Structure 1
């Protein structure tokens, strides 16, 4: 009963956030110098980079150029956006990621009433009411990404791990320039994710009559190609779902956003 109550509270408090797009926005994408600092904004919003709802920074982490992961040194959660700061003490490429471990939700009915508990298939067995029917468990995971490079770029932090829904940076993020093609590859459990629709948007939507969003679809190798016309900051949004049955779930859903910067030619 306690888990049912917690699930209900979680549903009510999360609906407004889940209806928005999660993103992280670093103060800089390419830096030079030694012992520099980075500040990161975290928010969930309907309009690209217009902060709307503060998101907990508890799952925010930074992966250093050597592959080591650290929580941010300082963080604050606000009403419209959250913020965090960290010192970048080494040359190379850093991955900023906001997103926790996968969540499992088991849906079921009791006397025609739909209910949910936050548990995977195995854990749910001991929690389900005796007369539960129409039982389905979903695995869900979302994350927001950004990449920052200090002096010399490298790839240790941004190399795919072969776990969950990931992006492979075919073109290094430090090399994104207007009018030049950018390539990414989407992966699921290390394998190409074909047929995934992606939406790309650019900062400044609030000041344009035409949002000028672009929709792409990954090819058979999971690859995407985009040639930006303008310099500036962009957001890539991708989501994936499949009826993949495992010991813990009956289906899976995953989403990611990537904030990136395009330089002047």
Structure 2
């Protein structure tokens, strides 16, 4: 039976940021200039958009409006946050993503001691020591997303691929406005992810007595709705877990965050 829950980061670059929430923050979300540049902050933190742990930018990429994926032109890893820059040379919508391909973890015990190897079920079969017991393999993936649009929006870069845990942008990110409903759909391998609890938070909660976080749940079609009261920058956090056996794993876990901007009405 599938269990869907809000999860912490599952696969990050170091144990130092394991318990923190990974996010990316572009300098702009909507641009109207020609041949412009974008800067992106990357961090992992307990409080929304308050940088805490610098994260490696090695898995940071940007999908262009034509669907082609690129590494950032330049990047730097800092102690509290990392930063990357890239030139946006075409009109349309870009997807910024920090996160690599799914990773496989095989856990087992030898003489009562719990151990782990980074391998799927097939690869682990030849690596397990003699006498290994309680062998289980999980597929894990985490990613942080943001969407930037230059002039006219399009959907090529943000169209779901049908693989892994994804967001289907029912409402285009360039159209998020305070007091208007925003709709998303969460998918797992192209199918609706129903019953997923999602947390939404707004910037500057450090300066509010009430953080004002909102929890919503996806419906049977994997859809969720949110009507922001205020303009500003927001973070969506969601996680998925299921005991789904495949040739490569016994279970799968995935998490994602989405940074988005809401404009004035």
TM tier, smaller: over 0.9
More helix by percentage: 1
1:166-181 alignment runs, 5 A limit? 166-181=166-181
TM-superposition CA deviations, 1:35-91 (whole Å, max 9, x none): 000000000000000000000000100000000100000100011100000000000
> Which residue pairs with 1:135 in the alignment?
135
1:52-201 alignment runs, 5 A limit? 52-201=52-201
User: 2:98, 2:15 → 1: CA distance?
Assistant: 18
TM-superposition CA deviations, 1:204-234 (whole Å, max 9, x none): 0111111100000000000000000000000
TM-score (norm 1): 0.95
Higher relative contact order (CA 8 A, sep 6+): 2
User: 1:141, 1:33 → 2: CA distance?
Assistant: 35
> Which residue pairs with 1:250 in the alignment?
250
1:32-47 alignment runs, 5 A limit? 32-47=32-47
User: 1:163, 1:117 → 2: CA distance?
Assistant: 24
Moved more, 254-263 or 121-130: 121-130
TM-superposition CA deviations, 1:100-127 (whole Å, max 9, x none): 0111111001111111111111111111
TM-superposition CA deviations, 1:125-150 (whole Å, max 9, x none): 11111000000001000000000000
User: 1:163, 1:138 → 2: CA distance?
Assistant: 16
User: 1:33, 1:57 → 2: CA distance?
Assistant: 26
> Which residue pairs with 2:4 in the alignment?
none
Q: Secondary structure at the match of 2:50?
A: coil
Tell me how many residue pairs correspond in the alignment.
Answer: 254
> Which residue pairs with 2:3 in the alignment?
none
Q: Secondary structure at the match of 2:123?
A: helix
> Which residue pairs with 1:237 in the alignment?
237
Moved over 4 A (4+): none
Q: Secondary structure at the match of 1:79?
A: coil
User: 2:110, 2:69 → 1: CA distance?
Assistant: 43
User: 2:214, 2:230 → 1: CA distance?
Assistant: 13
Cα offset, 1:33, TM superposition = 1.2
| Structure 2 residue 208 is the aligned partner of structure 1 residue 208 | yes
Q: Where do 5+ consecutive residues of structure 1 fail to align?
A: 1-10
CA RMSD of aligned residues (A): 1.0
TM-score (norm 2): 0.95
Cα offset, 1:15, TM superposition = 2.9
